[in-house]
Amino acid sequence: MHGSLDRSRPWLRVFGAPIVLGVLTTAGLLIALIWGNFGKYIAWVTVGAPVAVVTWVWLGRRLEKRR
């Protein structure tokens, strides 16, 4: 009744990347609060990661349309 076992989890394919980016961003903000000056550099990277991913995907799709 649960379907075949060889099927991948579709929710993981849809929500996997946003969950990882959310956890990464949250961890970076907490590290910035706890570690002080060194933590702010880690926070810059982790908070900037979603922006970098969105830019990467956007540019990739834009370049695909030109082909």
Residue 54 in any domain: the answer is yes
- For residues 26 and 32, the answer to whether their CB atoms sit within 8 Å is no
Place of tokens 């995907």: 57
Q: In the chain, at which residue ranges do the beta strands (DSSP E only) sit?
A: none
Tell me the whole-structure pTM to 2 decimals: 0.71
- Report the C-alpha gap between 20 and 33 in whole angstroms: 20
Residue 31 in any domain: the answer is yes
Tokens at 21, concatenated: 């980016």
| Residue span of the structural domain in which 46 resides | 10-66
Residue 43 in any domain: the answer is yes
Residue 3 in any domain: the answer is no
Residue 2 in any domain: the answer is no
Residues 17-67 have pLDDT tens digits of 999 999 999 999 999 999 989 999 999 999 999 999 999 999 999 888 887
Tokens at 30, concatenated: 């907490």
Residue 39 in any domain: the answer is yes
Number of domains the chain is built from: 1
- For residues 31 and 42, the answer to whether their CB atoms sit within 8 Å is yes
